[in-house]
Amino acid sequence: MQALDRKLLRDFKRLWVQALAIAMVLACGVAILLTAVGMYQALQGTQEAYYGRNRFADVFAMARRAPVSLLPEIAAVEGVLALEARVSGYANLDMPGRAKGAVGRILSLPESGPPQLNLPVLRSGHWPQLPGEVAVNAPFALANGLQPGDHFRANLNGQQRRLTVTGTALSPEFIYTLGPGALMPDNLSFGIIWMRREEAEAAYDMAGAFNDLTLKTARGVQEEEVIARLDQLLEPYGGQGAVGRAQHGSHAIVDAEISQMKGTAMVLPPIFFGISAFLVSMVMGRIVALERSEIGLLKAVGYSDAEVCLHYLMLAALVALVGIAIGWAAGTWLAQLLARQYARFFDFPFLIYRVSAWAYALSALVALLTTTAGAARAALRAARLAPAVAMQPPAPPRFKHSAADRLMRQLRLSQPAVMILRSLLRWPLRSAMTGLGLALAVASVVASSFFADALDEIMDTAFYQSNRQDAVVMFTEDQPESVLEEIRALPGVLRAEGQQYAAAILRHGPRMKRVTIEARVPDPDLSRVVASDGSVANAGPGGILLSERLAEQLGAVPGTLVEVQFTSGRRETRQLPVTGSVKQYFGLGAYMDHASLNALFRQAPQYSAASIAIDPSRQDALFTRLKALPAVAGVPVMTDMRRSFREVIAQQVIVMNMVYITIAVLITIGVAYNGARIQLSERARELASLRILGFSRREVSFILAGEMMLLALLAQPPGWLIGAAIARLAVENFSSDVYTIPLVLEPAAFASASLIVLAAALCSVLIVRRRLDRMDLVAVMKTRE
């Protein structure tokens, strides 16, 4: 081992605390990059494998009742490779041991052989073979404690049937399973039920017919052309408008999550790599300044400029290697942890978890380039030093009185305060970069805290202001207005309000969106559309009210005429004015006045569902009666949805906050500790002189700690602004047609971020301050300037 190598290891050992502080910040960038890339690859790889193995369809269509004889004509459409015609419907389920019912979506199985598309994966038991046998999706079975051989009852289009579970399965069609009217998955209250085709046909009067169709298209085929032709063929049979895979509910949510992971990998890691480069530059610059004489000696005995430059670059590389090792370990562990959470959140039968070798290589390469770039300036400065110049002390910096000095003199500041302010003003770039690092630490906590506040806002608006009902009674088909009186007469029903749903395609110019229009009576009390000011918004007679996101996508403003093509009811096309837009956090909402919609259809008022308020003391009797009503397709319970939302979101918020707080603390320690150490090394003679002149330890400590804490205080407002900007960017990137995240920034979020960063900075400075107590004043005074 050469002398220069021994010096390298000795320097690294001497600076191990500073190196570790930098390495931890660097490790955050490496870990987040690996985690985001790993989860992106895991979700995308699992999705692609699952879709490919189980033949997930490309186009989905519903009709009222289409004849099986139409299938050859559909199969002949250019670009259609395969199709699957099914019978589908909703059923009200009576689960054993539960007063509350559940909702089941019935799907028919082919008469012989497995399905051609959306092939379910059998998890236990076997497929139905005899009358009354069904298979259910595995999450629903697990939540309800169902096993092969168990029984439950179902209201199938008005007929009570006793069903026997023969197996459990998972389907690529239901990776994320939402029930009718649900805002979050609730496996306890909604399940998928596979039934023999002949039984499904008999239950829903579909002999020789189908109402659910899925298609597989050839690669490179224009999906829009296939959908347009399919709509033409199904229109005479009550077609409700075909949609592509991108608009399929389950796929859209999984795809949005994959896009979020990809965005995380592109946005967050550069922040940590940038902070690491600054810290390396700051530390290496000070090391070169302190080792001028050693550099001169090395060159005097024959070491070349390149060798000296490489020596300091290798010192930075050692820091990078430590950060890479920690980042690889943390990133692998965190990615595996998140993979297990996603496996529970999404109903995949398997999870292909892998982080490609190129991801590890990329993270290591970026980390090495980051530290090399940070150390390059100091290493080049060391290489350019001539031996004779290096052996001499550097020329002292030349300062002159400025307006700031005159102002401090007029303010009669104490000498320690003047020293702190002069240090900040005479090294403005270093002060600014240190403050920026601390501001980014504040920003990371603000950005994470915003999610908790946003979810509270969603919870309050969606569940306590808009959807205030206790349950929703879903009807098998639209019912006359008199059904509300029948619902109100049920035991335990305190109030009942009706809603009507109509599938439609909205067009404005070249823009188009498929939505479900909800018609409500004016000023409802249970299920309401709430404006941003908290007031109840009504569509108004003859117009349509849109959610803000839907209005933005259509390019429609109040007063704009939009074309509304109804794909249910009379299936007519009308021009309706937009009466306004409202904030909505789930889905793309479109609303009409109930009387106006029925007037367009030229029919007596009808309802598709009823929102009800329930007397808790009589809810068991109510649910028992609802299970037996033939017209009821299901009864989603809003209290269960609120519980499910809170449980799922609370866990995610806790994990996210802990991760971001840890990141903020590591950034703060890395910046504050290294800044204080460099300040101590630069001003050791100065501080020792003050002690000899009679300044107390408290006053000298104030000089050391005061500069860093002043920078930490000054970093708070920029940190708040950066955090708010990151939160706004997250809102724009993470929002989708499925859900929208509001930007909610409460004062408590800024306060908690500041307290966390200031506390971490103070602890870091106090650790360095302990060195003052152990400082040998005589030895320090003997060192050269």
- What values do phi and psi take at 243, rounded to 5? -135, 155
The average confidence (pLDDT) of the chain is: 82
Number of helical H runs and strand E runs in the chain:
25, 20
DSSP state of 629: -
Both 632 and 642 in one domain: the answer is: no
Identify the CA nearest to 740 among candidates 520, 564, 581, 509: 581
479: pLDDT strictly greater than 60: yes
Report pLDDT for 418.
Answer: 73
Residues forming beta bridges with residue 195, ordered by sequence position: 108, 134
- Please name the residues in contact with 175: beta carbons below 8 A apart, sequence gap of 6 or more: 47, 50, 250, 251, 254, 346, 347, 348
- Please name the residues in contact with 2: beta carbons below 8 A apart, sequence gap of 6 or more: none
- Pick 395 or 552 by higher pLDDT: 552
The helix/strand/coil state of 6 is helix
Per-residue pLDDT averaged across 185-213, rounded?
A: 88
Please, are residues 627 and 473 in contact by the beta-carbon 8 Å criterion?
A: no
Report pLDDT for 556.
Answer: 86
Number of domains in the chain: 4
Both 458 and 530 in one domain: the answer is: no
Give all strands of the β-sheet with 59-67 in edge-to-edge order: 80-86, 209-217, 59-67, 243-244
Per-residue pLDDT averaged across 73-93, rounded?
A: 89
- pLDDT tens-digit series, residues 334-366: 777 777 777 667 888 887 777 778 888 888 898
Report pLDDT for 649.
Answer: 67
- The answer to whether position 566 is within a domain reads yes
Per-residue pLDDT averaged across 577-601, rounded?
A: 85
* DSSP states of 131-159: TTEEEEEHHHHHHHT--TT-EEEEEETTE
Both 339 and 414 in one domain: the answer is: no
- pLDDT tens-digit series, residues 287-296: 777 777 777 7
Please, are residues 74 and 212 in contact by the beta-carbon 8 Å criterion?
A: no
- The answer to whether position 782 is within a domain reads yes
In 583-714 the beta strands, taken as DSSP E runs, fall at 590-593, 606-614, 632-634
Both 650 and 588 in one domain: the answer is: no
Report pLDDT for 155.
Answer: 81
- The answer to whether position 751 is within a domain reads yes
Both 542 and 666 in one domain: the answer is: no
- The answer to whether position 402 is within a domain reads no
Please, are residues 447 and 734 in contact by the beta-carbon 8 Å criterion?
A: no
Both 120 and 224 in one domain: the answer is: yes
DSSP state of 100: S
Beta strand 59-67 with 80-86 is unpaired
- Give the domain extent around 616: 471-636
Both 146 and 98 in one domain: the answer is: yes
Both 488 and 625 in one domain: the answer is: yes
Residue 195: band (very low, low, confident or very high) from pLDDT cuts 50, 70, 90? very high
Residue 394: band (very low, low, confident or very high) from pLDDT cuts 50, 70, 90? low
Domain boundary among 244, 266, 300: 244
Please, are residues 360 and 328 in contact by the beta-carbon 8 Å criterion?
A: yes
Report pLDDT for 164.
Answer: 93
- The answer to whether position 234 is within a domain reads yes
- The answer to whether position 9 is within a domain reads yes
Residue 57: band (very low, low, confident or very high) from pLDDT cuts 50, 70, 90? very high
Report pLDDT for 692.
Answer: 74
Identify the CA nearest to 347 among candidates 69, 120, 21, 618: 120
H or E element that contains 501: strand 493-508
Whole-angstrom distance, CA of residue 347 vs CA of residue 191: 12
Domain boundary among 589, 610, 636: 636
- The answer to whether position 659 is within a domain reads yes
Both 223 and 351 in one domain: the answer is: no
Both 76 and 3 in one domain: the answer is: no
61: pLDDT strictly greater than 80: yes
Question: Nearest-5° angle of CA 708, CA 711, CA 716?
Answer: 130
Both 621 and 595 in one domain: the answer is: yes
- pLDDT tens-digit series, residues 681-740: 766 666 777 677 677 777 777 777 777 888 888 889 998 998 888 888 777 766 666 667
- The answer to whether position 599 is within a domain reads yes
307: pLDDT strictly greater than 60: yes
Report pLDDT for 767.
Answer: 81
Residue 134: band (very low, low, confident or very high) from pLDDT cuts 50, 70, 90? very high
User: Where would I find the H helices in 204-268?
Assistant: 223-234, 249-267
Both 42 and 149 in one domain: the answer is: no
- Pick 405 or 764 by higher pLDDT: 764
pTM metric for this prediction: 0.73
Domain boundary among 585, 612, 636: 636
275: pLDDT strictly greater than 70: yes
Report pLDDT for 400.
Answer: 67
